[in-house]
Amino acid sequence: MKREDRQKAIMDLLVTHGEVEVDNLAEQFAVSKMTIHRDLDDLETEGVIRKIRGGATIESGTRFESDFRFRERQSQDAKVAMAEAALKLIDPGMSVIINDGSMAAFLGKFLIKKRPLTVITNNAAIMDALRNESGITLISLGGCYSSKFNAYFGSVTEVGLANLRADISFISTPAISGLEVFHMDDMVVKTKRAMMPCGTRRCLLVNHNRFDHTALHKLATLDEFDYIITDKAPSKSALAIIENAGLTLTIAQQDSEGAS
């Protein structure tokens, strides 16, 4: 098996299992452990995986967010549920801003149900999905392209946002702790922060597994958002914190909204 094919197979295993072990990979691909270590080094250098003792993982850490190619294939039912809940906040004729991320990409694909719309985004997956759709005015934010996040970032993106306004901004996050929202990458945080004031209303999208976690950079506080949408109920402690703060959490897969 060629090195490129083996590394792709390793990525497929990581999508399925989340973690892989060097010993098992060496046996499965009939190569030396050193060869597997070199494969994992290559993938880590690309920013695709995170090496751990004895293997590798795609699970997020305080300094690491897994590659878009992994995230778009994970938790698809949860993403669909959150996208459908978010869609209820949109009416035809509105203008919406949507950030990077695989969750946001699902929402972007659903927007054709609400056309005509104006869609402002730095998310390349949304650009690809909507570029030829009638009834969609697509404003693509330029900037420095990141293959890891499949989106555009940087000063060019932020300057473009400074001159735009929309009815609602959709922001996604990989970590919430208490009432604080986090992200691993400072460049991504700056672009998300630039998007937030552009929307008359703001909606935060977050998988329930991302509660009770922190990351390197603080993005915002929960009270900066008008809506918070997740797929399932998070931990009891997270729910209590949100309720005590007087905030409302929409739990998409229950198709209900309540103070939680």
Q: Which domain does 7 fall in, by range?
A: 3-59
**Domain harbouring 79, CATH code:** 3.40.50.1360
Q: What is the pLDDT of residue 257?
A: 41
Q: What is the pLDDT of residue 102?
A: 86
Q: In this structure, is residue 85 part of a structural domain?
A: yes
Are 45 and 127 part of one and the same domain? Answer: no
Q: In this structure, is residue 116 part of a structural domain?
A: yes
Q: What is the pLDDT of residue 145?
A: 94
Are 153 and 178 part of one and the same domain? Answer: yes
Q: What is the pLDDT of residue 253?
A: 77
Are 52 and 90 part of one and the same domain? Answer: no
Last residue within a domain, chosen from 35, 59, 83: 59
Q: What is the pLDDT of residue 130?
A: 96
Distance between CA atoms of residues 151 and 177, nearest Å:
25
Helix axes 155-162, 186-195, angle to 10 degrees: 10
Distance between CA atoms of residues 31 and 41, nearest Å:
15
Q: What is the pLDDT of residue 222?
A: 98
Q: What is the pLDDT of residue 219?
A: 97
Q: In this structure, is residue 66 part of a structural domain?
A: no
Are 106 and 28 part of one and the same domain? Answer: no
| Angle, alpha carbons 235-237-243 (nearest 5°) | 105
Are 110 and 215 part of one and the same domain? Answer: yes
Q: Which residues of 48-59 are buried (b: 16+ CB within 10 A; e: fewer)?
A: bbbeeeebbbbe
Q: What is the pLDDT of residue 58?
A: 78
Q: In this structure, is residue 207 part of a structural domain?
A: yes
What kind and span of H or E run contains 122? none
- For residue 56, give the nearest of 68, 39, 75, 35 by alpha carbon: 39
**Domain harbouring 41, CATH code:** 1.10.10.10
Are 158 and 248 part of one and the same domain? Answer: yes
Are 175 and 55 part of one and the same domain? Answer: no
Q: In this structure, is residue 232 part of a structural domain?
A: yes
Are 89 and 30 part of one and the same domain? Answer: no
For 255, other C-beta atoms within 10 Å of its C-beta total 11
Q: In this structure, is residue 65 part of a structural domain?
A: no
State the residue for tokens 């878009």.
68
Distance between CA atoms of residues 140 and 122, nearest Å:
6
Are 80 and 54 part of one and the same domain? Answer: no
Q: What is the pLDDT of residue 147?
A: 83
Domain tally for the chain?
A: 2
Are 35 and 83 part of one and the same domain? Answer: no
Q: What is the pLDDT of residue 256?
A: 41
Are 131 and 14 part of one and the same domain? Answer: no
pLDDT by residue for the chain (260 residues), tens only, comes to 888 899 889 888 887 787 899 999 999 999 999 999 999 998 888 777 888 889 988 776 545 555 556 666 666 788 999 999 999 999 999 999 999 988 888 899 899 999 999 999 999 999 999 999 999 999 999 999 988 889 999 999 999 999 999 999 999 999 999 999 999 899 999 999 999 999 999 999 999 989 999 988 999 999 999 999 999 999 999 999 999 999 999 999 754 444 33
Q: In this structure, is residue 138 part of a structural domain?
A: yes
Q: In this structure, is residue 162 part of a structural domain?
A: yes
Q: What is the pLDDT of residue 72?
A: 60
Are 14 and 90 part of one and the same domain? Answer: no
Q: What is the pLDDT of residue 244?
A: 96
